[in-house]
Structure 1
Amino acid sequence: MIATERNFLAYLDEMKIITILLPLSYHHGLSSSFIVSDDIQQFPLTIMEKRQIENKMKYICQLSEEILFGRQYWILDEHGGKTDLQIGAVIRTNSFDDKFYYNGNDLGVTYGEKQTQLKIWAPTATGVKLKLRPPGSQFSEILKMKREDRGIWSVTVNGDLEYYHYSFLVHVNLEWREVVDPYVKALTANGEHGVIVNLAKTRRPKINLPIISNPVDAIIYETHIRDFTIHPSSGVNHKGLYLGAGELETKGKDSSPTGLSYLKELGITHIEFLPVHDFAGVNELEPNKDYNWGYNPLHFNAPEGSYSTDPANPYSRIMELKHLIDQIHRSGLRVIMDVVYNHIYIRENSSFEKVVPGYYFRHNEIGLPSNGTGVGNDIASERKMVRKFILDSIQYWMEEYHIDGFRFDLMGILDVETMNLVKALCDSIASDTIILGEGWNLNTPLSQERKAIIANQAKMPGIAQFNDRFRDSIKGSTFNLFDKGYALGNEHYLEAAIELLTGSIGFNKKGHGLFNEPSQSINYVECHDNHTMWDKLLACHKNTDDSSRMKYHRLATGMVLLAQGIPFLHSGQEFFRTKQGDGNSYRSPDSINQLDWDRKSIYKENVEYMKSLIQIRKTYSCFRMRTQAEIRSNIRILPYNSPVLGIYFEKAKVIFIVNSSSLEHRITLPEGEWSVLANHEFAGISTSKAFKVGEIIIEPISLNILVKK
Structure 2
Amino acid sequence: MNLKQLVVMSAVAVATGCTSSQQHTSTPFDEYPVYEGEWVEMAYTPASTRFSLWAPSAQEVRVLLYEKGQGGSAYRMVKMEPASDGMWQARVDEDLKGKFYTFNVKIDDVWQGDTPGLMAKAVGVNGDRAAVIDWKETNPEGWNEDKRPPLKRFSDMVIYELHHRDFSIDTISGIRNRGKFLALTEEGTHTYLGEKTGIDHLKELGVTHVQLLPSFDFSSVDETRLDKPQYNWGYDPKNYNVPEGSYATDPYRPEVRIREFKQMVMALHRAGIRVVMDVVYNHTAITKGGNFERTVPGYFYRTDEEGKWANASGCGNETASERPMMRRFMIESVCYWAREYHIDGFRFDLMGIHDIETMNAIRKTLDKIDPTICMYGEGWAAGKPQLPDSLLAMKKHAAQLPHIGMFCDEMRDSLRGPWGNDAKGAFVIGRMGYAAGVKFGLAGGIAHPQLVSDKESTVPAFWAAQPEQMISYVSCHDDLCLADRLKATLPGLSALEMNALAKLAATAVFTSQGIPFWYAGDEILRDKQGVANSYKSPDAINAINWGRKTSQRDFFDYVRGLIAMRKAHPSFRMGDADLIAKHLEFLPVPASNVVAFRIKGSPAGDSWLNTIVVLNARTEPVQIDVPEGRYWIACRDGRIDNVLGLGTLTGNKLVVVPRTAMIVHQ
Q: Scaled by the length of structure 1, what TM-score is found?
A: 0.85
CA apart distance, 1:253: 2.2
Contact 2:397-2:463 at 8 Å conserved across structures: no
Structure 1 pair 411/295, CA: closer, same or farther in 2 (3 Å)?
A: same
SS at match of 1:471: helix
Structure number with greater CO (CA < 8 Å, separation at least 6) is 2
Is contact 2:411-2:440 (8 Å) kept? no
CA contact (8 A) 2:138 2:256 kept: no
2:217 equivalent among 269, 278, 282: 278
| Aligned with 1:194 (options 102, 114, 130) | 130
| Alignment partner of 1:650 is 2:585 | no
- Deviation digits for residues 7-44 of structure 1 (CA, Å, limit 9, x no counterpart): xxxxxxxxxxxxxxxxxxxxxxxxxxxxxxxxxxxxxx
Equivalent in the alignment of 2:404: 463
1:697 and 2:655 are equivalent in the alignment: yes
Pick one of 157, 163, 166 that aligns with 2:101. Answer: 166
Larger radius of gyration: 1
2:620 matched residue in structure 1: 663
Pair 1:485 & 2:426 matched: yes
Q: After TM superposition, list the pairs within 5 Å mapping 1:421-460 onto structure 2.
A: 421-441=361-381, 442-460=383-401
Aligned to 1:140: 75
The equivalent residue for 1:75 is none
> Is the contact between residue 300 and residue 393 of structure 1 (CA under 8 Å) also seen in structure 2?
yes
2:568 corresponds to: 619
Between the aligned partners of 1:644 and 1:135, the Cα distance in structure 2 is 64
Report the AA paired with residue 119 of structure 1. S
Secondary structure of the structure 1 residue equivalent to 2:361? helix
Please tell me the residue identity of whatever aligns with 1:706: V
Match of residue 678, structure 1, among 635, 654, 666: 635
The 1:553–1:86 alpha-carbon spacing in structure 2 relative to 1, beyond 3 Å, is closer
2:10 corresponds in structure 1 to none
Structure 2 distance, partners of 1:558, 1:283, is: 41
Residue 706 (structure 1) aligned with residue 630 (structure 2): no
Partner of 1:526: 475
- Structure 2 counterpart of 1:121: 54
CA contact (8 A) 1:86 1:173 kept: no
Shift of 1:601: 1.3
The structural deviation recorded for 1:179 is 2.0
Write the distance in 2 (CA, Å) between the matches of 1:545 and 1:509. 34
State whether residues 491 and 660 of structure 1, in contact with CA within 8 Å, keep that contact through their aligned partners in structure 2: no
The Cα of 1:462 is off from its aligned counterpart by 1.1
Shift of 1:364: 0.9
Tell me if the contact between 1:488 and 1:556 (Cα under 8 Å) persists in the aligned partners: no
Contact 1:181 1:351 (C-alpha < 8 Å) held by counterparts: yes
CA RMSD, Structure 1 to Structure 2 (Å):
1.6
| Partners of 1:485 and 1:493 within 8 A in 2 | yes
How big is each residue's C-alpha offset from its partner over 1:586-624, in whole Å with a ceiling of 9 and x where there is no partner?
A: 000011010111111110111111111111101111100
Match 2:486 to one of 508, 515, 537: 537
1:182 is matched with: 118
Matched residue SS, 2:276: strand
Aligned counterpart, 1:16: none
- For the residue of structure 2 that corresponds to 1:349, the secondary structure is coil
The residue type paired with residue 117 of structure 2 is D
Distance 2:624 2:582 in 1: 24
SS in 1 for 2:27: helix
Partner residue of 1:577? 526
**1:494 alignment partner, one of 423, 431, 435:** 435
CA distance in structure 2 between the aligned counterparts of 1:86 and 1:411, rounded to whole angstroms: 29
- 2:288 counterpart SS class: helix
Q: Note the residue ranges of structure 2 that are not aligned, 5 or more in a row.
A: 1-21, 453-458, 603-609
SS in structure 2 at match of 1:616? helix
Q: Does the Cα contact within 8 Å between 1:91 and 1:359 map onto a contact in 2?
A: no
- Kept after mapping to 1: 8 A contact 2:590/2:623: no
| Cross-structure match for 1:111 | 44
Aligned to 1:251: 190
Deviation at 1:134, TM superposition (A): 3.6
Counterpart Cα distance in 1 of 2:421 and 2:463: 22
Q: Distance in 1 between matches of 2:436 and 2:410?
A: 12
Distance 1:634 1:575 in 2: 33
Report the Cα offset of residue 86 of structure 1.
5.5
- Name the SS for the 1:480 alignment partner: coil
- 1:365: Cα distance to partner? 1.3
Indicate the residue corresponding to 2:205 in structure 1. Answer: 266
- Aligned partners of 1:589 and 1:210: how far apart in 2? 35
One-letter code aligned to 1:243: L
Residues in 2 aligned to 1:482 and 1:139: alpha-carbon distance in whole angstroms:
57
TM-superposed CA distance for 1:696, in Å, is 3.5
The sequence identity of aligned pairs, in percent, is 34
CA 89–685 in structure 1, closer or farther in 2 if over 3 Å, else same: farther
> Displacement, 1:639?
1.4
1:153 maps to which of 88, 93, 108? 88
Q: Which has the higher strand share?
A: 1
Of residues 274, 297, 322, the one that matches 1:357 is 297
Amino acid across the alignment from 2:272: G
Ranges in structure 1 where 5+ consecutive residues have no aligned partner: 1-84
For residue 138 of structure 1, report the CA deviation from its aligned partner.
5.1
Say if 1:206 and 1:402, in contact at 8 Å, map to a contact too. Answer: no
SS at match of 2:613: strand
Checking the alignment, whether the CA contact within 8 Å between 1:267 and 1:614 is kept in structure 2 is yes
> How big is the shift at 1:666?
2.1
Change (3 A) 1:600 1:89: farther
For the residues of structure 1 that align with 2:642 and 2:482, how far apart are their CA atoms?
27
TM-score (norm 2): 0.91
Shift of the 146–307 alpha-carbon distance from structure 1 to 2, 3 Å rule, reads same
> Alpha-carbon deviation of 1:346?
0.6
Q: Residue 681 and residue 139 in structure 1: after superposition, are their counterparts in 2 closer, same or farther (change >3 A)?
A: closer
Distance, in Å, in 2 between the alignment partners of 1:201 and 1:455 is: 46
